[in-house]
Structure 1
Amino acid sequence: MQDTHRLSTRHPQLLPLVLASTSIYRQQMLQKLQLPFMTCKPEVDEAPLANESTQQMVQRLSLAKALAPAPAFPDHLIIGSDQSAVLNDHPLGKPHTFSNAKAQLQSFSGKTITFYTGLAVVNTKTGDYYEKLDVTKVVFRTLSEQVIENYLTIEQPLKCAGSFKSEGLGITLFERIESRDPNALIGLPLIALTDIFYEMGVELPLAPQNTHNDTE
């Protein structure tokens, strides 16, 4: 886990929360923390920059997504996240067609895919922000042609990078997942987000991190 931050000593305990994403899966992930939040669609050019690594790209885009809607939310905490996957240092795109998806999954058989998930939280009231990078490795089972075709027919993951949905039947294609946080694979690393909230002084439904029980 890598992280960078720029924080002041001012704590945003009651600022409204905004998720800069229209992804239903990220919304479902954030709902796990039982915090009220709004959503918005960030207008960001997601094209990679020249000589930019995948790690650098997802971190840049995560912060850009959190900053893009800032003018409309001047006293809020905005969450931005971006994810990309690579196989042998080659970024994985969306297949769009059945044949492309089949070829992609065939290339994954018995291989390890690395997912980089960037995360940024911006306090638009103070200008403070915090960033993290989660790295998740997915080791695929040896996949037969029939298994691949059956999976694609059932789940139709043609608009998903990597040609699978880990939140669905795609999990059966995996031999194992190596990750600090399995939520990151779906698009929002909740453990890292919780770390950020505690660092920023945001109180979660459970007791704040520095609270302890008195035993008088």
Structure 2
Amino acid sequence: MQDTAAPVPQTGRPVLILASSSRYRRELLERLRIPFETAVPAIDETPQPGETPEATALRLAEAKARAVAAALPAGAGRALVIGSDQVATFDGHQIGKPGTHERALEQLRAMRGREVLFHSALSLLDTATGQTDTVDVVTKVRFRDLPDAALDAYLRAEQPYDCAGSAKSEGLGIVLLEAIESDDPTALIGLPLIALTRMLLAAGYPLLAPQEAQP
């Protein structure tokens, strides 16, 4: 397991682990001002034949959490492992990360003037019980009908080639969007924090514990 955040202090609280290599999810989790570690889950993220976008996102979110939990050393103590996955879809087709400028432009052309659903699945695994709390947060996004030149200019400015759907709503990509409908505003960025904080509180994690007095 590779740590990319500050070491977790030994305070009696369970260790919190983000099972993701995504810098976007790491930055979102940092908003909660709680100590956590990150680990990259080694899983195959290929959708299964006939699998719905919702089912893909839910399966992969839980699989990421379980893969990281399984790699923890024996006697590591209780940990809460966060797995998350996002699948974008319209017309019943899954939209993955484009990877290249050409594929990103093709995605944006296909989606302009259309409504796209983003399934942001979240899974919290408690290593003390082996149980998971898993949910799919759906965000509806309507894209503006913009010309090719505008789409190309956006892609060259922001280069969102590691984002499903090729549009980063937290950045310049907001210009491409006409409307966003969601009960969890950070879900579209990659980590639904309202759902996550509910799960952590239900697991007994002290999100708003009093700060220890400094000597």
| 2:86–2:164 contact (8 Å) kept in structure 1 | no
Partner of 2:207: 204
Aligned alpha-carbon RMSD (Å): 1.6
What letter matches 1:50 in structure 2?
P
How many residues end up aligned between the 2 structures?
195
CA distance in 1, matches of 2:100, 2:159: 9
Q: Are 2:167 and 1:168 aligned?
A: no
With structure 2 as the length reference, what TM-score do the two structures score? Answer: 0.85
**What is the CA-CA distance between 1:146 and the residue it aligns to?**
2.0
**What is the CA-CA distance between 1:151 and the residue it aligns to?**
0.5
Q: Are 2:37 and 1:34 aligned?
A: no
Partner of 1:155: 158
CA distance in 1, matches of 2:27, 2:162: 19
CA distance in 1, matches of 2:169, 2:209: 28
Partner of 2:140: 137
Match of 1:99 among 102, 123, 134: 102
Partner of 1:86: 89
Secondary structure of 1:183's match?
A: coil
Match of 1:111 among 95, 110, 114: 114
With structure 1 as the length reference, what TM-score do the two structures score? Answer: 0.85
CA distance in 2, matches of 1:143, 1:203: 46
**Which structure carries more relative contact order (alpha carbon 8 Å, separation 6+)?**
1
CA distance in 1, matches of 2:133, 2:18: 15
Q: 1:142 to 1:63 in 2, by over 3 A?
A: same
Deviation larger for 179-188 or 154-163: 154-163
Secondary structure of 1:85's match?
A: strand
CA distance in 1, matches of 2:101, 2:23: 23
Partner of 1:22: 21
| 2:122–2:136 contact (8 Å) kept in structure 1 | yes
Secondary structure of 1:185's match?
A: coil
- Note the alpha carbon deviations across 1:107-155, whole angstroms, 9 max, x for none: 2111111000111111112223211110001111121222112111111
Q: Which runs of 5+ in 2 are unaligned?
A: 1-11, 211-215
**What is the CA-CA distance between 1:52 and the residue it aligns to?**
1.4
Q: Which runs of 5+ in 1 are unaligned?
A: 1-12, 208-216
| 1:33–1:205 contact (8 Å) kept in structure 2 | no
Q: Are 2:183 and 1:180 aligned?
A: yes
Partner of 1:62: 61
